[in-house]
Amino acid sequence: MLKAAILFASTSYFAWYLERHETAMVYPFDATYTTPAEAGETRLRETRVETGDGESLILWRVKARENRPTILYFPGNAGGLRDRSPRFSALIDQGYGIVAMGYRGSSGSSGAPDEQTLTEDARAVAALETARPLVLYGESLGTALALRVAAEGIGDAVVLEAPFTSFIDIVAAQYPRDDLGELLTQQWKSLMSARDVRQPLLVIHGDIDKVVPIALGREIFEAVGSTDKHFLEITGKGHRTLWTDEMKTELFAFLNAR
């Protein structure tokens, strides 16, 4: 009886808290406007794309060298584009093109984020991109967007860094005896999209990821219908520490094969 009362109280509080703070919890974006040069990468240039509902999204981009793919980059939900500047520099050093998306409410882009509008924005940006080969790169939250775009047949290959099956499953991994995840309105279910992906795939996941358990990444990997897919497990690394020499070696080899 006491346990049931405590569970009811905790669930009720979680529901109350979510109603008021879910957007901030799910999308802890850094809204600060920063130019690529201010972030330390002068080879990138800023462009903007207007959305159908009147918002202005910032993109950071650079052209690929000859015979190198262009990466359409969907970031994770923490921070902003400037926090990814070092990895963008490493990719540019290899000759890859980049189109990095500043989400609504992030990195100087206007608007407020939610699952539907972010998905629509990702599809619109992907549809406008003409560079080929085009690799869809999703990081954490961005893996859901990469999968949704790839499931529509866009892109020549897909890279997923710490992918998840749904936000419901992420919450369930933290609170396995509760159904708190079901209270989320931003659920980000990715399995259905994964089943429709046929492009070559590289999944990268750390074996001690405490945010998105590696089991969720493996479930996405198994669901993808591609016959050309690879799973890279980074030993001793977590959610935000995957950008290692081992990862870069495997990533660059995968990209160079496109």
Confidence bin at 7 (pLDDT 50/70/90):
very low
Using one digit for the tens of pLDDT, what is the confidence trace for 42-94? 999 999 999 999 999 999 999 999 999 999 999 999 999 999 999 999 999 99
The angle formed by the CA atoms of residues 231, 237 and 239, to the nearest 5 degrees, is 85
The side-by-side arrangement of strands in the sheet containing 97-101 is 45-50, 56-62, 97-101, 70-74, 134-139, 157-161, 201-206, 229-234
**Given this model, what pLDDT does residue 187 score?**
95
Mean pLDDT of all residues belonging to the chain: 93
Looking from the CA of 135 toward its CB, the CA atoms found within 13 Å total 25
- Our CA angle for 91, 137, 208, nearest 5°, is 95
The pLDDT confidence band at residue 22, using thresholds 50, 70 and 90, is confident
Task: Please tell me which residue, 253 or 11, carries the higher pLDDT value.
Answer: 253
Q: Which two tokens stand for residue 225?
A: 């219908």
Residue 9 is predicted with a pLDDT of: 44
Q: Where are the domains of the chain?
A: 2-256
| 2-256: CATH superfamily | Alpha/Beta hydrolase fold, catalytic domain (3.40.50.1820)
**pLDDT score of 216:** 99
pLDDT per residue over 23-49, tens digit each?
888 999 999 999 999 999 999 999 999
Q: What is the DSSP string of the chain?
A: -HHHHHHHHHHHHHHHHHHHHHHHHH--B------TTTTT-TT-EEEEEE-TTS-EEEEEEEPPPTT-PEEEEE--SSB-GGGGHHHHHHHHHTT-EEEEE--TTSTT--S---HHHHHHHHHHHHHH---SSEEEEEETHHHHHHHHHHTTT--SEEEEES--S-HHHHHHHHSTTS-GGGG-S-----HHHHHT--S-EEEEEETT-SSS-HHHHHHHHHH---SSEEEEEETT--TT---SHHHHHHHHHHHHT-
